[in-house]
Amino acid sequence: MNHSSTNRKWFAFTTQEIILMAMLAAVNAVITVYIGPVNKLLSSLGGPIATSTTTGIYMVYGLLAYYIIRKPGTAVVTYAIGGTIQAMTGTVYGIASCFVAAACYMVIAEIIFAAVRYRNWSTGVLMLVGGAMVPLWFVFAANMFGYTAWPIGVLGIALVVRILSGIFLCGLLTKVLGEALAKTGLLRRFAVSAKG
């Protein structure tokens, strides 16, 4: 009974929820454009390790959507929309990277939220998801962008920095933004307001 109930919830989104996911994905696409110059500056100052500090910002929109909507499949839809928008608007990293990154993020997020049965929305769980979404994409990115040519020490430090960025600039920031938005009353028709 519970199993079939959970299955029915998959992708059973309201129009408002779909609009919210699309809006967050669109905002992410805009933010990504502005992060580009920042990353160039960071690269000139500290190379791949410095640019790794912004990693969490690229993922926060999907996790924020999940925190607000709290339905299975939220990461799949939101990151798919985000990847598509980025691919259509253009990216210096190539179209393939948009979809591969989105796939990596959605898989990890869905697995972890399924593991906690979509009931635990604590800061700790959000920070766990934010950090956990990084390594899988890092493996693909390392092969797609030639990170494997970096010295092993630099590669390791870059991964750690990216995970920390995911923990704080994705996980923790999601909690902060989600609570701030909920307090405004704008999210009263979403699960985040109903369940706290």
Task: Show the domains of the chain with their CATH numbers.
Answer: 15-40+47-190 (1.10.1760)
Q: Is the pLDDT of residue 7 over 70?
A: no
Enter the tokens of residue 61: 């929109």
Asked if the model's pLDDT at residue 168 lies above 70, the reply is: yes
Q: The tokens of 60 are what?
A: 């926060």
> How far apart are alpha carbons 181 and 11 in whole angstroms?
23
Query: What pLDDT band is residue 89 in, cutting at 50, 70 and 90?
Result: confident
Query: Which pLDDT score, from 0 to 100, does residue 36 have?
Result: 79
Residue 11 confidence class, pLDDT cut points 50, 70, 90 = low
Going by the DSSP 8-state scheme, the letter that residue 190 receives in this structure is S
Tell me the H-state helices in 52-122: 55-69, 74-89, 95-115
Residues 17-69 have pLDDT tens digits of 999 999 999 999 889 888 878 888 888 888 889 999 999 999 999 999 999 99
Tokens of 102: 């989105």
Question: Percent helix, strand, coil in the chain (nearest 5)?
Answer: 85, 0, 15
pLDDT at 34: 86
Residue 5 has a pLDDT of 42
pLDDT of residue 33: 82
φ/ψ of 189, rounded to 5, equals -95, 5
C-alpha 182/C-alpha 185 separation (Å) is 6
Q: What percent of the chain has pLDDT over 90?
A: 75
Structure tokens at 189: 């028709």
Q: What integer is the mean pLDDT of 146-156?
A: 92
Q: Which residues of 83-101 are buried (b: 16+ CB within 10 A; e: fewer)?
A: bbbbbeeebeeeeebbbbb
